[in-house]
Amino acid sequence: MDSKSYIIVTGGAGYIGSHTVVELIHHGYNVIIIDNLCNASHEAIARIEFLVRKPILFYDIDLRDEKQLNHIFSSYNIQGVIHFAALKAVGESTKMPLEYYDNNIYGSISLLRVMDKHNVKTIVFSSSATVYGDATRFENMIPIPETCPNDPTNPYGKTKHTIENLIEDLHKSDPSWRGAILRYFNPIGAHPSGLIGEDPLDVPNNLLPFLAQVAIGRREKLYVFGNDYESHDGTPIRDYIHVIDLAKGHIAALDYMNSLQRDVGLYREWNLGTGKGSTVFDVVNAFSQAAGKELPYEVVGRRDGDVLNLTADPSRAKKELKWNATLTVEQACRDLWNWTTENPFGFRIDNYHWKIFNESGTFNYENRLHTVKFPDLQASFANYGALIQDVQYKGQHLVVGFQEFQPYTSDDNPLFGSTVGRYANRISKGSFQIKGKAYELDKNQNGSTLHGGSNAYNRRYFLGPISKHYRDYNTLEFILLDEDGNNGFPAEVETTVKYTVNNSSIEIEYQSSISENSPNDATAVSLTNHSYWNLSSGGTIDGTVIKLASDKYLKTDPKTQLPSGEIISSTQPLTKSIEILPDVSFDNCFIVDESDFSLDTRGRELKTIAEATHPSSSIKLSVASTEPAFQFYTGDNIDMDPIKPRAGFCVEAGRYVNAINDSSWSKQVLLHKGEFYGSKLKFTFSC
Amino acid sequence: MDSKSYIIVTGGAGYIGSHTVVELIHHGYNVIIIDNLCNASHEAIARIEFLVRKPILFYDIDLRDEKQLNHIFSSYNIQGVIHFAALKAVGESTKMPLEYYDNNIYGSISLLRVMDKHNVKTIVFSSSATVYGDATRFENMIPIPETCPNDPTNPYGKTKHTIENLIEDLHKSDPSWRGAILRYFNPIGAHPSGLIGEDPLDVPNNLLPFLAQVAIGRREKLYVFGNDYESHDGTPIRDYIHVIDLAKGHIAALDYMNSLQRDVGLYREWNLGTGKGSTVFDVVNAFSQAAGKELPYEVVGRRDGDVLNLTADPSRAKKELKWNATLTVEQACRDLWNWTTENPFGFRIDNYHWKIFNESGTFNYENRLHTVKFPDLQASFANYGALIQDVQYKGQHLVVGFQEFQPYTSDDNPLFGSTVGRYANRISKGSFQIKGKAYELDKNQNGSTLHGGSNAYNRRYFLGPISKHYRDYNTLEFILLDEDGNNGFPAEVETTVKYTVNNSSIEIEYQSSISENSPNDATAVSLTNHSYWNLSSGGTIDGTVIKLASDKYLKTDPKTQLPSGEIISSTQPLTKSIEILPDVSFDNCFIVDESDFSLDTRGRELKTIAEATHPSSSIKLSVASTEPAFQFYTGDNIDMDPIKPRAGFCVEAGRYVNAINDSSWSKQVLLHKGEFYGSKLKFTFSC
């Protein structure tokens, strides 16, 4: 058991849950997400990882599984629980009440039983203003205070009401229990990053998600249920609250409970609303403005059970939790529009699936294998090393990789498919100097540093990926936080590896920058991908016909393989095309550009640096990059039975070898805080 | 799957559940009881079997175990469910709310899910007037109609309220569901038989069980919570309803739902109360009268939450279900007092335990082994054959028996320990004649009927037993319904076998009578017990020293072993005492009384008919009976390896062999409707 204490967030992959997790982490809490993903997406978790730059502990379990819950509570030091997990569609709840009672009520009973068993007695419960039912039946209950009688009118609301009762009864039976009941009004908006937001399945029940789908063209028009209410424009008034404000309300409740004296319990309900009502037309106008277009709507009859005004009285939360909503409906509409345009279909990503990438059968979210599939091209990428595990073009496997995870961790693995970093290729004597300070790196047996050292990018689990689907391509974006001092390198570096896959190509975009709060503000970065290509149908690369963009390469010392600084030309007609016969070997850094020493080459045009074919198949590989150099390697040193030498060749576009130790070349790799290291590589397949 | 359709009664072993099961069966329903016995006793089920003269299908499972529930619903044709199973103590519910929500709500969710899955959509739900909370807060709500707002004030009431809601929501989502909500007021009383009643654990929460415990001397006095209410005597008014009336309300609800047209659903609440209020003192007076004594009480302060008057308005049930309470509080008090005096400690039976008696590990309630244990004497009895499986006196086993069940079913089993019936010993030519009609019985290879035939009492599962503990003895009473025509015998016969065990003896009382609705009204009955005794420590009976009450025996044909009618004397000094040497064998019917040919000998004095000792131990067995004869048998024909010939001897007290075919003897065994066959046997042990 690690010594940290955690907040468990049930339903943490959902709309409000995911935003709350981000706020929790920003406020210094350690979080474990439990979510059965029955109405949420793993993608939200990958994106939270991106937002908070941390791996997220995530368990895909159902709260009704007491055995698995017990295991989690036994494995970590749990400080409290924020309990979102529930089915939450009012309309659906009237159609399948058993599922609602079972999921929501029994799920909560199970959770509370396990909490009680493990002496975890702090819970923030995600309740709803739905528990009030029609508050207009009572005198002086608009805006609605927490003391308004509860009388929910649908199964969803009844389940929330029952769970509130249970927590209250539990507190009465054992006053050391702490239960904060947060009754939400109408949560809207999304994270300003556009990375997480509401992702309703089927037809949205709520005004804003419906409007967003109208705006993005997924639905024809909005139906306005009645414009004959006694409001300024005739439409009913509700209390819309930005999901970020709502998320912060949970932190306020948690902080409030943590501020109580030890052993002092609590049961208390707090409304989370703004206290300001907006009509349907107010919201339509705000969203139209955010989206920059008028949105079609049709006024139809009133809905059963709708009433004029259901606005919160949020004064109790303001007074006791020192919390109040600060974001406007306009801001929420802008954030929602941003989220919608970035993710028109929410978290549903076509052409994409993932699986856990290990053999033990345990659910280890950190270690996944992601596959993007187009008719001709299918490619798989792992969080481990952000590596390319498989590329199939027209059914033919083109890179060396393993079906299982374990071999990737072997010392004999010559970085099959891996991202290479923080510093690709060799650094002489395993050291460099910046502003008069020398850094000693992790060295190999030859005394130099190869491919970043022993705990380099190829051995790290990247966070994310953000997975997106566009009209004719998909992207997968991984991120890694490489700590200051790892392998001896100064500065904390954030590196993203973004794969763009379409029906015939895989593009890689690298970006590195030094984190804002990094103690050191300069370092050396050089990134590439170490895929071993093989165009033959099952044989070695022998017979491959290859044409390179350059026949000039860095002359190296045969012993150390380090460059002398001299650029020489090959005796072979490499720029014409040669056949790689069994006795032809390369492991050289070819120079594409001798003058441009940019740190970020992404602005340059992709230039084809290698084209390859093999007589045993009709597939042609074309490698392009924005980089000034590339290592061409015929795989002679592969030694990982059953994979034999020359099972694949590498075209590792990147910077000059050992550039950090060369005063004129070092501009290519010397990264300062505020700057970006960047490059693009592209592999294109054709017949 | 059998073709019958069943009503499942959850919690059918409980107070109201058990009474309802009896009423259901009397109304022609087939019943399956599901009960986890967490707050009820298997003993109730054994007693229901006695009351209804039928085996009860009983499953000891928890409703939260969906897998097992599914199995039951898959195995039978289920017509509907009456759902009692719940924790039900208001005070306890405030102390352990999680258990209440889990047991009651989740148990109901699980049940309803399984019902829905199996398309069983009829439920009668055992709810409570507790859902109304304090109905006096509202105007004109006393007597309380079903339309009174619900606002339960304790976890128990909240769980009932939530389950009502779930059933209502389920009906709304699928109008073919039928849910009858029965809201009980204050159930009191017990079954007039005294066999089943309320058995509160710990301190009773309710007035009547508390009063009963005061009356029987288990508690000092009754506390009366306030006598300053505005009633005629100052104590609060409640609506007490006899449990039999309440049970009948369930039949009315079920019948009502069955009378609806196919596919017509229902959700409806009905109060089950009398509509007549009684004060605490009214009830104290009624019970004092029933118990024939003044009961001590002390008036103390009012209880929190108590109000003056909570009387039901039962008019809806009267109008719609055609049901109303007919029994008085006075009747209920009489029945309760009868139950209390018959069962001063409810179903808790000292010196007694049972287990399932098979090897398969499945729960087969029909097949149990019951053990009564005193310091010196321990004896075990099976439902199968109502047999004596084991007798240990001062640690020494005295009868031949098997630890496992299977051997008892073997064809080689010479009736070890069994009850022998309907007709013990031989019937010549396997036939007899009554009123000019000849009956042909099941015959053995010799052409006669031995021990009742092939499907005789020794191969039948007896119902019950009723198990009771008295100051210094315990009783176990089994019952068997032997069908008209079984093995060829005319008339349906009800036979009870009652064992009375104390620290040094086992008495057996047999009784048979012809069922009221039997088509035939006369038959032949002769009962005995076929235990094989062995006083040696592990050897054969050789060396046993025995003294009999008679040396006269029936002369028999050596081939058929049937008596000639002649009574002759033994050449051995049997009335003095002889040693059973290896060459001494007996299998003879000795005559104790040549003149008394009673059918029911129970009024006669027990007479010692045999005394036995063995030199290898100090234990003496004394056999007494009220019977005119006994078969003495030295076990020479035992042939059931590893049990050898002469492993035990039998003293089978009973009637003359083949008496039914002898015009003068037949009075001993000829049973007419309205008469009782009866006898007593007693085995006494000493050192």
Q: Which two tokens stand for residue A212?
A: 């967003």
DSSP for B500-553 reads: EE-SSEEEEEEEEEE-TT-S--EEE-B-EE---B--SSSS-STT-EEEES--EE
State the smallest CA–CA distance between residue A409 and chain B in angstroms: 43
User: Alpha helices, DSSP H only, in B3-140?
Assistant: 15-26, 42-52, 66-75, 90-95, 97-100, 107-117
Q: How far apart, in whole angstroms, are the C-alpha atoms of residue B333 and residue B289?
A: 8
- At residue A208 the predicted structure's pLDDT band, cuts being 50, 70 and 90, is very high
- A285 pLDDT more than 80: yes
Tokens of A526: 């050089």
Q: Could you give phi then psi for residue A638, rounded to 5 degrees?
A: -60, 130
Fill in the amino acid letter for B70. N
Under the banding of pLDDT at 50, 70 and 90, the label for residue A142 is: very high
Contact B118, B66 (CB under 8 A): no
CA B465 and chain centroid, separation: 5
CA atoms within 13 A of residue A660's CA, in its CB half-sphere: 29
Min CA distance, B89 vs chain A (Å)?
Answer: 14
CB B362 within 8 A of CB B392: no
Q: Say which of B109, B155, B165 has its CB closest to residue A102.
A: B109
- Dihedral pair phi/psi, residue B496, rounded to 5°: -110, 140
How far from chain centre, in Å, is Cα A575? 41
Predicted pLDDT at B446:
84
Beta-strand pair B368-373/B377-382: antiparallel
Interface test with A, best of B116, B173, B177 (most A CBs within 10 A): B173
Q: Which portions of chain B are predicted below pLDDT 50?
A: none
Catalytic residues of A, which ones?
Answer: 530
pLDDT one-digit tens code per residue, A599-653: 999 999 999 999 999 999 999 999 999 999 999 999 999 999 889 999 999 999 9
pLDDT band, residue A537 (cuts 50/70/90): confident
Which residues in chain A touch residue B96, judged by CB atoms under 8 angstroms apart?
A: 173
Judged by a CB distance cut-off of 8 A, whether residue B65 touches chain A is: no
pLDDT at A448 over 80: yes
**Is A111 an 8 Å CB contact of chain B?**
no
Q: B611 and B632 in contact (C-beta within 8 Å)?
A: no
Give the C-alpha separation, B197 to B617, whole Å.
46
Whole-number Å distance between alpha carbons of B297 and B284? 9
**pLDDT given at position A1:** 60
Best residue in B99, B106, B168 to probe A by mutation, most A CBs within 10 Å? B106
B493-501 and B474-482 as β-strands: parallel, antiparallel, unpaired? antiparallel
pLDDT at B590: 97
Give which of B117, B169, B177 to mutate to test A binding, by max A Cβ within 10 Å. Answer: B169
Q: Which of B95, B158, B169 is opposite residue A165, by nearest beta carbon?
A: B158
The residue behind tokens 């009906």 is B171
Q: Which of A98, A116, A172 sits opposite B109 (nearest CB)?
A: A98
The answer to whether B410 touches B416, Cβ cutoff 8 Å, is no
Sign of CA dihedral B31, B37, B39, B43: positive
pLDDT of residue A475: 97
CA angle A347, A351, A356 (to 5 degrees): 75
Determine the pLDDT at residue A323.
Answer: 98
- Identify the band that residue A85 occupies on the pLDDT scale cut at 50, 70 and 90: very high
Helix axis angle, B280-291 relative to B329-342, nearest 10°?
A: 50
Helices (DSSP H) in B195-279: which residue ranges?
207-215, 243-258
A117 in reach of chain B (CB within 8 A): no
DSSP state letter for B106: I
Q: What's at A144, amino acid-wise?
A: I
Find the distance separating the first CA and the last CA of chain B, reported in whole Å. Answer: 54
Greatest C-alpha distance within chain A = 95
What count of Cα atoms within 13 Å lies in the side-chain half-sphere of residue B677? 30
Q: Are A633 and A591 in contact (CB under 8 A)?
A: no
Closest CA to B347 of B355, B358, B339: B339
More confident residue, B128 or A446: B128
DSSP A535-585: -SSSS-STT-EEEES--EEEEE-TTT--EEEEEEE-SS-TTT-EE--TT--
> In the predicted model, what is the mean pLDDT of chain A?
95
Distance, CA of A88 to CA of A102 (rounded, Å): 13
* A316-354 pLDDT, tens digit each: 999 999 999 999 999 999 999 999 999 988 999 999 999
Sorted by sequence, the CB contacts under 8 Å of residue A451 that are 6+ apart come out as A415, A420, A423, A424, A425, A458, A530
Query: What is the per-residue burial (b if ≥16 Cβ within 10 Å, else e) of B189-220?
Result: bbbeebbbbbbbeeebebbbbbbbbbbeeebe
For residues B225 and B206, the answer to whether their CB atoms sit within 8 Å is no
For the question of residue B191 being annotated catalytic, the response is no
- Mean pLDDT (whole number) for A101-129: 98
pTM (2 d.p.):
0.89
Q: What is the pLDDT of residue B373?
A: 98
Query: A-chain residues within 8 Å CB-CB of B172?
Result: 94, 97
Q: Are strands A629-633 and A463-469 parallel, antiparallel or unpaired?
A: unpaired
Q: A616 vs A446, which has greater pLDDT? A: A616
Distance from C-alpha of B212 to C-alpha of B192, rounded to nearest angstrom: 15
Answer yes or no: do A105 and B170 touch at CB < 8 A.
no
- Confidence band for A169, pLDDT divided at 50, 70 and 90: very high
- Partner-chain contact A169 B97, CB within 8 Å: yes
pLDDT top residue among A538 and B324: B324
A91 contact B CB<8A: no
Surface of B (134-193) touching A: CB under 8 A: 155, 158, 162, 165-166, 169-170, 172-173
pLDDT at B126: 97
C-alpha–C-alpha distance, residues A671 and A599, integer Å: 7
Which residues does chain A have within 8 Å of residue B158's beta carbon, measured at their own beta carbons?
162, 165, 169
Task: Give the pLDDT of residue B445.
Answer: 85
pLDDT at position A481 is 96
Rounded to whole angstroms, how far apart are CA atoms A231 and A340?
A: 29
Of all residues in chain B, what percent are helix, strand and coil, respectively (each to 5)? 25, 30, 45
